[in-house]
């Protein structure tokens, strides 16, 4: 028994090591680029170093810090809206069978199939007419288009393996609907909900063209600044903004990791997605 356990943990350590290598190794050149000044092929290390990129990133004129705040606010806002819409929608798709369900599922998937750049100008016209363009709120709404499918599909998977009878049990034991949701439903779906939130957050976090067009220049997010420098070959500034760009994802992952351990019964249902 003990030998078996040690064997397992050896494999676990190896895979953990590999995962960390895959996650961290690609970031090393990024970090090195951010402090390099001259780095030509085939040199393994830069021939000159400089903190210029970091000075620029933290300067007032670059607008990187403001963009970091706005990107976070928009991603959190989009996630909150996605929870409000995605949890009931996922419950309906996971628990009930109704006419035209396949069509609804296809429509929900559609935004992940159609690239944003193909529809963004049409969406822009619609948003202008609705008065949603050029604002933070409009950008959150438009981010829902690519982000919501992930939330809905994750929640549909969670609810497919969820037995609503336990809510009825809670109610029969005297819980009001809110209490039943808070003490019974929520703990059961929490790991899946966190995965959905995580997807939504990251999808919103990485939008470029939708933010640019619907934000109309009033809303500056990190991808907007990052792509400016990435497409013009400024590896030093791209590296510095890139490091800031991945930080929130890592922080959210670390915060959520405790809930993703798989100890909860509902987490098992995730494997079926």
Partner 1 sequence: MMRLLKTAGRKTVVAAMASLLAVIAPLNATAAEDFSNKNWDEIVAAAKGGTVNWFMWGGADNINQYVSAWVGNELSARYDITLNRVGINDTAEAVNLVLGEKQAGVDDTGAVDLIWINGGNFRTMKQGGLVFCGYVDKLPNNALINWQDASIANDFGLAVEGCEVPWNRTQFAFAYDAARTPKPPRSITELIDWVKANPGEFTYPAASDFNGSVFIRHVFYHAAGGPEKLLGDFDQATFDAVAPKAWAILNDMKPHLWRAGNTYPTSITALQQLFSNREVALYFNYDPAIFGINVENGIFPKSTRSYGLKDGTIGNTNYVAIPYNSPNKAAAMVLANFLTSFDAQYEKAKPDVWGAAPAIDAAKLSADQRSRFEALPRNPAVVSSQELAKKALPELHPDWIKAIEKGWQENVAE
* Bridge partners (DSSP) listed for residue 48: 38
**DSSP assignment, residue 43?**
-
What is 138-167 written as a DSSP string? HHHHHHHHHHHHHHHHHHHHHHHT--THHH
Rg (CA), the chain: 22
| Contact predicate 190/270, CB 8 Å | no
**Closest of 197, 195, 185 to residue 271, by C-alpha:** 195
Q: Which is nearer to partner 1, 153 or 197 (CB)?
A: 197
Gap between the Cα atoms of 81 and 140, Å rounded: 8
Q: Which is nearer to partner 1, 19 or 51 (CB)?
A: 51
Provide φ and ψ at 241, rounded to 5°: -65, -35
Q: Which is nearer to partner 1, 3 or 45 (CB)?
A: 45
Q: How far is the CB of 231 from partner 1 (least distance, A)?
A: 5
Q: Which is nearer to partner 1, 15 or 179 (CB)?
A: 179
The residues binding partner 1 (CB under 8 A) are 36-41, 48, 50, 52, 56, 59-63, 73, 76-77, 79-81, 83-84, 121, 124-126, 128-129, 131, 133-138, 140, 186, 190, 193-194, 197, 212-213, 216-218, 220, 224-225, 227-229, 231-234, 236-237, 255-256, 259
Q: How far is the CB of 132 from partner 1 (least distance, A)?
A: 8
Q: How far is the CB of 56 from partner 1 (least distance, A)?
A: 5
């Amino acid at each position: 028994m003990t030998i078996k356990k040690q064997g397992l943990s050896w494999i676990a350590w190896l895979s953990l090591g590999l995962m960390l290598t895959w996650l961290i190794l690609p970031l090393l050149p990024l970090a090195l680029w951010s402090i390099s000044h001259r780095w030509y092929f085939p040199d393994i290390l830069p021939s000159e170093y400089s903190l210029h990129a970091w000075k620029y990133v933290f300067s007032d004129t670059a607008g990187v810090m403001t963009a970091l705040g706005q990107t976070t606010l928009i991603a959190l806002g989009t996630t909150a809206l996605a929870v409000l819409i995605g949890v009931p929608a996922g419950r309906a798709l996971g628990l009930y069978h109704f006419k035209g369900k396949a069509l609804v599922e296809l429509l929900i998937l559609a935004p992940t199939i159609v690239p944003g750049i193909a529809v963004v100008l049409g969406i822009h016209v619609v948003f202008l007419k609705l008065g949603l363009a050029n604002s933070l709120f409009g950008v959150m709404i438009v981010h829902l288009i690519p982000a919501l499918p992930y939330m809905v599909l994750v929640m549909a998977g969670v609810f497919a393996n969820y037995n609503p009878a336990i809510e009825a049990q809670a109610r029969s034991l005297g819980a009001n609907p809110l209490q039943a949701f808070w003490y019974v439903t929520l703990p059961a779906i929490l790991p899946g909900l966190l995965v959905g939130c995580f997807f939504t957050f990251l999808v919103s976090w990485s939008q470029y063209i939708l933010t640019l067009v619907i934000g109309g220049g009033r809303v500056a997010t990190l991808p907007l600044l990052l792509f400016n420098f990435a497409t013009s070959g400024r590896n030093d500034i791209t590296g510095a903004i890139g490091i800031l760009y991945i930080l929130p994802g890592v922080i959210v992952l670390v915060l959520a990791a405790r809930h993703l351990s798989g100890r909860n019964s509902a987490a098992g249902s995730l494997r079926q997605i």
